A and B are shown apart, each in its own frame.
Chain A
Amino acid sequence: MKEKLLAILAEQIDMNVSELTDDKRFIEDLDMDSLDMVEMTVELEQELDCTFEQEDLEGIKTIGDLIGLIEKD
């Protein structure tokens, strides 16, 4: 699951998977904005066949947070 998630994210933001460590913050470190975050969730929902609630996503700041959320489901 984690590998797939990182692969999807790496493709979306055009970076190497190796750069996407758990501590990376989407906005500050990966230069994403809130719309990139929405696009990322659309991708993940399609590719991982899951659904996210907007409230759950609000607390997600780092790659580690996102992995935690997905593993919880």
Chain B
Amino acid sequence: MGISIIGCGHKMPKFVATNKHLEEIVDTSNEWIIKRTGIKQRRLITDETLTELATQSSKDAIDIAQIDKQDIGLVIAATFTSDTSTPALASNVQKELGIERAIPMDLSAGCTGFIYALATAKSLMESLDIETALVIGADYISKYLDWEDRKTCVLFGDGSGAVVLKRGEQKGIGSIYLNGKPDVEEVLVINDKQATHPWRDAKHDDKRIHKLAMKGAEVYEFACGAIVETINKLKEMSGSQIKKIIPHQANGRIIRYASIKSKIPLDNFYINIQKYANTSAATLPIAIDEAWKEGWLKKGDQIALVGFGAGLTWGGMTIEWNLPNFV
């Protein structure tokens, strides 16, 4: 018995912001962004909602899975940018899909959120005897970006991806490695709103509150260590040679570093950061769906998903890809 991905989908906002668009608003250049990150463009939410993107990506995953949506017993959305602070994005998607009964919840673990969500879904499916689950990775990070800060605004984009998990005969998800440590130096933080009641002195509130603040070099260093550690752990735990890796898409240079250190050729790392930039918890399910639909991911492939991000959090899992080749 195992738990497998039986369907996947993704949905991006329609507006494409190229590096040229960013040159118009901050002091940057297409060349700088490509050389340091590999990013050429990103999608940004304009008139959509995150709920709409998450719902559409879920519908596509359900169609591929060929299941009745009422069979879904658990909906987990990895996100920290739900349209509504409450209900959760997962609840909003449950409503939009019309799933009458299921357990919906959001999970916030930065860019590692989707890995954490898959691991959580697997555990709950086993402990609560749930047959089918929907796991979403979706983020609307552009609403927290400081569009005057060239060091951060060029790096991110919005989007959503989703997978359907099902218990069955096939192995599917194999080894799981999750980890986290305190972000003592506050290298990647978004401060939230403070109360505005009359008894709280708001005079000293930072006016950049609500904006993503990042120490780039420190995050880069953390990410390089975390991605290599995760690949090594997964190799050790699974005892097998991992053939293909779908990594979190934060910076193409981090992926290149991982390829050199793990001695796995760069062609065996799936990369789509050039199109979408870093969509936080959404990068992995978007990449899974594209990798499969482009024919990069094939039935029987032993793959590893690897993530890292705010928290600080990192981790990954091995998966035997069971879906038939996409035609």
Report which A residues bind B (CB closer than 8 A): 33-35, 38-39, 41-42, 54
Contacts and interface: CB of A to CB of B under 8 A. Distances in A.
Interface in B233-257: 253, 257
A35 B225 contact: no
Taking chain B's interface residues, is the majority helix, strand, or loop, or is none over half, making it mixed? helix
Interface in B185-244: 215, 217-218, 220-221, 224-225
Taking chain A's interface residues, is the majority helix, strand, or loop, or is none over half, making it mixed? helix
6 contacts: A35-B220, A35-B253, A38-B217, A42-B225, A54-B215, A54-B218
A35 B36 CA distance: 8
Given A38-B224, A41-B221, A54-B218, 14 more contacts: A33-B35, A33-B36, A34-B217, A35-B220, A35-B253, A38-B217, A38-B220, A38-B221, A39-B257, A42-B221, A42-B224, A42-B225, A54-B215, A54-B217
A45 to B, nearest CB: 9
A41 B225 CA distance: 11
A56 to B, nearest CB: 13
Contacts of A54: 215, 217-218
Contacts of A39: 224, 257
A3 to B, nearest CB: 22
Contacts of B225: 42
A41 B224 CA distance: 11
Contacts of A42: 221, 224-225
Rank and list the top 5 A-B pairs by shortest CB-CB distance, nearest first: A42-B224, A38-B220, A38-B221, A38-B217, A35-B253
B30 to A, nearest CB: 16
Contacts of B36: 33, 35
A61 to B, nearest CB: 16
A34 B225 CA distance: 17
Nearest to A39: B257
